Amino acid sequence: MKKKNLFLTKKQLSSLSTTINEAPIDYGDRPERMDPTLQGKIERGEFPGAGSEAYPEVDPQGVANTFEELISSKRFKDVVEKVKHYTGVENVTPGTFGQLQQMLMASVQRIFQIEAQNKEQLEELAVKIVREDMSIPEDALQFDAKIVGMGEIDMSGMNPGGQQQQQQQQQQDSEEEAMEEFEDFDIEKQKRRFLNQLIQGASKKGHYMFHMVDEELNRINPDLINLYGVMMSLNDLVYWIMPDETTMMMAQSGSGMAGKEEVDPDTDPPTVKARGITFPVLVHELIKGVMEVLATQGLPDDPRQAQMVMDAEDTLTSEVWDLRLGPVIWEKFRESYPFDLMQDDKKEIQNYLFSEFARMDAKEMFRLAKEILANSDRGKEELKRIVEEIIEEMKKSDYEDSQPVDYGDDSDVLEPPAAPQNVPAPQTQSIDLDMDTILEKIFSQGMESLTPQELQFLRKQSN
């Protein structure tokens, strides 16, 4: 009998490795599958942000080999579950894609019909829920929000990030020039990429915030809630079941543009301008605009360098990937927040926390991000410390703003301090003072309008 070889050859090991890596996306026992070309790019790390210094290692006992595969698995599962919830379709597979496409088109058409008669009310409602949910003070930001028609999104100023050879060469030349001028260009790009994932992740929740105003929406039309759910869940699904090349072509051409936001920093206060083809999209763009304002702390101080970083990373094709993976990254980020930060009276502090995180040195930010995304106690403790520092700073600022100018005496009326001893007081012009004139001045202009001589005269008369 031929003796069996107990050790694998190099060829067998290679074959085994290939077999193991065929399905690093964890589908569990579910029949749903993402597009193969998209899955392949995730497995090979061929997308913007792959291999980020902010990503932690994953459990080697799990199916996923990388953090990107892990969060892709979770996000795809979440998207499929939402589709099932809103559509009632149990198997989201190629056999039901035709049915789902018809449901998507029907929901969009019906939404357009309903919203056309209620645009102004919905625009005001979008601003209201964003301002309240994010605790935006009235004097901090102003909003310009509009629901617009398909094809009415202004594409000017958008960086498509196309894949054509000429565009690739121009991008490469631009980045080489930036690296020569800007020593930290590469790491600042990585930082901006990660912050963009957080921004898109945070703003993605806007797609489903219509549940926060269900009473108002039901008064407009009781069908709106479910129509929004069908439309937004199927819109999310498209990002995962459509061939990635098709999605990228749509992004580069702008044909899939459903919304846009920009920030005008020259107004007082700054203005978040948002446009969306429907109410949920408008809410998404408003949140994105607010997050952009908070994230400006993360850009280089030099305006030219900041623009170089944004030109390199703020592209439509990169945004597609941010929309795919950002929600899970933001979810994990939020899970590390101190519990009491979720209370209504603490929501404003969440904005300060994100801004403080964004302004960190890139390497320090990546170090903390790894801890947060790994759900470590160390990451939670560090966020708690930052929150405590923010609260103390806010208390100190509020206390200083609330204090009157105290000149050190115990009288009810504050007055300038007495001239130092042995230093003659400055000579003042002699003024004829009388009680009636002073009282009239107090009633018409207030106590603070009195001169030192008038205050002194008033005290003498009172004694």
| Dist. CA 164–CA 314, nearest whole Å | 17
Pair 359, 306: CB distance under 8 Å = no
Q: Which residues pair with 261 in a beta bridge?
A: 274
pLDDT tens by residue, 134-169: 999 989 999 999 999 887 777 665 555 544 444 454
Of 55, 149, 27, the C-alpha closest to 372 is 55
Pair 433, 457: CB distance under 8 Å = yes
Q: What is the DSSP letter of 451?
A: -
| Dist. CA 339–CA 328, nearest whole Å | 19
Pair 416, 407: CB distance under 8 Å = yes
Of 146, 122, 64, the C-alpha closest to 328 is 64
Pair 108, 238: CB distance under 8 Å = no
Other CB atoms within 10 A of residue 124 CB: 11
Give the strands of the sheet with 142-147, arranged side by side. Answer: 142-147, 271-276, 259-264
Residue 77's identity, in one-letter code, is K
Give Cα separations from 421 to 417, 424, 425, 451 (angstroms).
11, 8, 9, 21
Q: What is the largest CA-CA distance in the chain?
A: 129
Q: What is the DSSP letter of 19?
A: H
Of 67, 35, 94, the C-alpha closest to 247 is 35
| Dist. CA 301–CA 289, nearest whole Å | 20
443 Cβ contact list (under 8 Å, min separation 6): none
Both tokens of 327, joined, read 């929600």
Omega before 269 within 30 of 0, i.e. cis: yes
257-275 burial, b for 16+ CB within 10 Å, e for fewer? bbbbbbbeeeeeeebbbbb
Determine phi and psi for 146, rounding to 5 degrees: -140, 140
| Dist. CA 55–CA 139, nearest whole Å | 37
pLDDT tens by residue, 400-452: 665 665 545 444 444 444 444 443 343 433 345 665 565 555 544 555 556 66
| Dist. CA 187–CA 189, nearest whole Å | 5
Both tokens of 65, joined, read 């080999």
One digit per residue, pLDDT tens: the chain, 463 residues? 433 343 434 444 343 333 333 458 889 889 999 999 999 999 999 999 999 999 999 887 778 889 999 999 999 999 999 999 999 999 999 999 999 999 999 999 999 999 999 999 999 999 999 999 999 998 999 999 999 988 777 766 555 554 444 445 455 556 666 666 678 899 999 999 999 999 999 999 889 999 999 999 999 999 999 999 999 999 999 999 998 888 877 766 655 678 899 999 999 999 999 999 999 999 999 999 999 999 998 999 999 899 999 999 998 889 999 999 999 999 999 999 988 888 877 888 999 999 999 999 999 999 999 999 999 999 999 999 999 999 998 888 765 665 665 545 444 444 444 444 443 343 433 345 665 565 555 544 555 556 666 666 555 554 4
Domain assignments of the chain as residue spans, ordered by start: 36-335, 336-399, 432-463
